Amino acid sequence: MYENHGGTVVGVAGQGFAVLAADTRLSKGFSILSRNVTRIHQLTESVYLGISGCQADADALKNLLDLSIAEYTLTQGSPPSVSAVARLLSTMLYQRRQMPYYTFCLVAGLDADGDGSVFSFDAIGSFEKVSVACVGGSQILVLPLLDDFNTTSDEASEAFFQRWERPGVSPTRQRPKRTVNASLEMALSRVRNAMEAASERDIRLGDSLETLVLQRSQPPASRGERRKDSRGRRRSRDEPIAARRSLPPPMAGATSATPAPALKFLVHRTFSPLATH
């Protein structure tokens, strides 16, 4: 039986940072089951999941994501990017469309350039990359307060994604980044003000505000090669196991790439009080 346990999650993507914020109240109707529930879950070093809805389905989905990402990391030798995690989550949700996970998710992280990325999902896997997102029980109250992030300077970027409204936009043009035109301090202030205002008007939101800030700590570096499969080399049964598991020698004329140092990230997680009625 499905049960909505409330919860509201907000995500903001900026230039050089990403913000996830969620309340910590777990409710059922007019009853408060817990005042200290975290709705922000770490998937990789630079990708986090914000999830609300049915708590049992949320826990099951988080466990399934952790297993899939761990398998991907062991196979490929590096964790998936934020866009790869978004596609993975979309596939998982769509596979359960006949009896879906009663959850509403945000995936936030930093891309290869160190800029923020936020993806918003519905219960059956439809998702969109956005600059500001809000999911959960108080979405109708919080999201209008966050529309202030979208200014007239964003119209040119939005025209790319809505070409039917602006004819003449080249389909081969580089996609603009979906980030807000605001500093980190301004983004945190607006998110907190919106959540505080909603907590005074909705009993499903309250107790504490958990805020996670993800920032890059150094300029992005070029990436090295990933693990590759063998290129058509048949191995004999009599060949030693160690030789079978080793990677094939590089092709003639190929140069071996030395992996560049990975992009470093700074993560800050804080809690602040909200309404406790």
pLDDT digits (tens, 9 = 90+) for 46-85: 899 999 999 999 999 999 999 999 999 999 999 999 999 9
Report yes or no on whether pTM surpasses 0.85: no
> Of 115, 188, 110, whose CA–CA distance to 149 is shortest?
188
Q: What pLDDT is attached to residue 177? A: 74
What mean pLDDT is reported for the chain?
A: 79
Instruction: For residue range 178-194, list pLDDT tens digits in order.
Output: 888 889 999 999 999 99
93 in Cβ contact with 86 (< 8 Å): no
CATH 3.50.90.10 fits 8-219+260-273, yes or no: no
If you write DSSP's letter for every residue of 94-143 in order, what string do you get?
HHTTTS---EEEEEEEE-TTS-EEEEEE-TTS-EEEESEEEEETTHHHHH
Percent of the chain beyond pLDDT 90? 49
Residue 173's pLDDT is 57
What are the two backbone dihedrals, phi and then psi, of residue 194, each rounded to the nearest 5 degrees? -65, -45
Residue 166: pLDDT over 50: yes
Is the CB of residue 204 less than 8 Å from the CB of residue 138?
A: yes
Q: Tell me: the pLDDT tens digits for 5-56? A: 989 999 999 999 999 999 999 988 888 898 999 999 999 988 999 999 999 9
Q: What is the pLDDT of residue 238?
A: 52
pLDDT tens, residue by residue, 198-235: 999 988 888 889 999 999 875 444 444 444 444 445 55
For residues 93-99, give the mean pLDDT: 93
Distance (Å, whole) CA 151 – CA 159: 13
pLDDT higher than 70, residue 96:
yes
Token pair listed for 101: 């996970």
Cβ neighbours for 270, distance < 8 A, ≥ 6 positions apart:
210, 211
For residue 26, what pLDDT is reported? 92
Q: With cut-offs at 50, 70 and 90, classify the pLDDT of residue 256.
A: very low
Say which residue, 40 or 160, is predicted with more confidence.
40
User: Residue 241's pLDDT band (boundaries 50, 70, 90)?
Assistant: very low
CA 167 to chain centre: 31
